Amino acid sequence: MSDFGNKTVSSYIKDYYKNIGSIAPERIAEREFGFGSFANRIAVRHTVFRNDSELRAYLIDTAPLHVDYSAAYYKHPEAPMDKKEWLGSELRFDIDAGDIVKLPCRIEHGKEWSCDKCLDAAKEEVIKLIENFLVPDFGFSTKEMEINFSGNRGYHVHVHKESVLSLDKPAREEISSYIFGNEPDYDAFFYTVRIDPRHEKQMGPRPSDGGWRGKVAHAFLNAASSKGDLTSLGIDKTTASWIFRNIEAVRKDINQGNWDFHPIPNRKEVLVNLLNRQIINQGNRIDKGVTNDPSHLMRLPNSIHGGTGLAAKKVPSLAALEIFDPMKGAVAFKTGELKVRVDSRYKLSINGREFGPYKNETLELPAYAATYLYLKGLADILNSN
Ligand SMILES: [Zn+2]
């Protein structure tokens, strides 16, 4: 990082805001805004704007590295926290590739970098969040949601349905725990019924059940079509083979909620294990802190992310998300070249081109690649005069 590099990035940010259309969120005058600089991620808070042109004038004038706005609407957004008078908050979800466990590429490239695989994994989690939870379990329609690329290695989902606005912190905590899938209550999933003095029958969830019960039953039947998947859920090999061979009969039983299809040694232990693993596999790795806090500040859609130089691009629909490539679609600094010295062991794929790795090399790169590497701390921007 250098004065010259910072100034260059700032001038690109200024140009970006000069050329962008409207950037104001809904109900702009009731939101709190915060801004970050090179020195400080959140340097300014409690700022207000009456309309889009006021906000844009500020962005062009100050070229902030980060722009955040509140999930909350306030009567006095400019006041200190205890004087703001809360009117309601959107429900927000933050999915970051850094929180997704078991991403093999992260072991290769470490925490500081993100690759196409990280971005695809984050996208998959967002689709899962919407399709497996927000729509079926909470009854939100995709029209009541906004999907935004975070500008770095994840996505944000905002729900602005009227009925969520008044939810307090405990209600938001309940929602995030449900989606995260913490500590399932065994008795809410499995129970036994006595059929005669010597036998009891194992009952459990049906795929047609709502919420987590249906998800667990579905996932079990999906796993049952492969022996390897069943053993990875903790079922012994012999039982797994039997289930695999008799899948149609097993499916029929489970459709009725009958989990007594075959004698399983240590049944309860196996079922507890299966339940925990299913819930870990299917729970969504949202950042609970973001969802739980009604006054959280989050990056403004379509603003520049100061850690990458990419735009936190709004994605218009779930269908658009399926084909969205952030390393193309979120490129903001499209024109110009910059002279840089780069030392990076990573290959950067951006705007349909590949750059690097570079071993302490001096060269000219397109502005989007140069600023990305500079903001990741892997390059210096050099004065070419
Ligand atoms: Zn990766």
* Confidence (pLDDT) at 187: 94
Distance (angstroms) between ligand 1 centre and the Cα of 108 equals: 8
Residues 191 and 318 in one domain: no
Distance (angstroms) between ligand 1 centre and the Cα of 119 equals: 7
Residues 316 and 337 in one domain: no
Distance (angstroms) between ligand 1 centre and the Cα of 107 equals: 8
Residues 226 and 247 in one domain: yes
Residues 32 and 147 in one domain: yes
Residues 246 and 299 in one domain: no
Residues 30 and 167 in one domain: yes
Q: CB–CB of 283/271 below 8 Å?
A: no
Residues 261 and 246 in one domain: yes
Residue type, 375: L
Distance (angstroms) between ligand 1 centre and the Cα of 355 equals: 16
Residues 143 and 216 in one domain: no
Bridge-based pairing of strands 66-70 and 72-74 is unpaired
Q: CB–CB of 300/259 below 8 Å?
A: no
Exposure string for 334-354, b = 16+ CB within 10 A, e = fewer: eeeebebebebebebbbbeee
Residues 145 and 157 in one domain: yes
Per-residue confidence in pLDDT tens, the chain, 385 aa:
899 999 999 999 999 999 999 999 999 999 999 999 999 988 899 999 999 999 999 999 999 999 999 999 999 999 999 999 999 999 999 999 988 877 889 888 988 899 999 999 999 999 999 999 999 999 999 999 999 999 999 999 999 999 999 999 999 999 999 999 877 899 999 999 998 888 889 999 999 999 999 999 998 998 887 777 888 888 888 888 899 899 999 999 999 999 998 888 888 888 998 899 888 888 888 999 999 999 999 999 999 999 999 999 999 999 999 999 999 999 999 999 999 999 999 999 999 999 999 999 999 999 999 999 999 999 999 987 6
Question: Residue with structure tokens 């039997």?
Answer: 242
Residue type, 89: S
Question: Of the residues 282, 306, 323, which one is the last residue of a structural domain?
Answer: 282
Take residue 240 and report the two structure tokens written for it: 């797994």
Distance (angstroms) between ligand 1 centre and the Cα of 335 equals: 27
Distance (angstroms) between ligand 1 centre and the Cα of 132 equals: 24
Residues 163 and 271 in one domain: no
Residues in contact with 40: Cβ distance below 8 Å, sequence separation at least 6, in sequence order = none
**CATH number of the domain enclosing 294:** 3.90.920.10
Q: Is 1 helix (H, G, I), strand (E, B) or coil?
A: coil
Question: Of the residues 282, 305, 320, which one is the last residue of a structural domain?
Answer: 282
Range of the domain at 152: 3-178+286-331
Residues 174 and 59 in one domain: yes
Measured between its terminal Cα atoms, the distance across the chain in Å is 19
Distance from C-alpha of 11 to C-alpha of 17, rounded to nearest angstrom: 10
Strand segments, DSSP code E, in 264-382 are: 297-299, 314-315, 337-344, 348-350, 353-355, 358-366, 379-381
Q: CB–CB of 206/257 below 8 Å?
A: yes
Structural domain count of the chain: 3
**CATH number of the domain enclosing 356:** 3.40.5.50
Distance (angstroms) between ligand 1 centre and the Cα of 257 equals: 40
Residues 324 and 337 in one domain: no
Distance (angstroms) between ligand 1 centre and the Cα of 98 equals: 9
Cβ atoms within 10 A of the Cβ of 161, count? 16
Long-range contacts of range 352-358, CB-CB < 8 Å, 24 or more positions apart?
A: 352/328
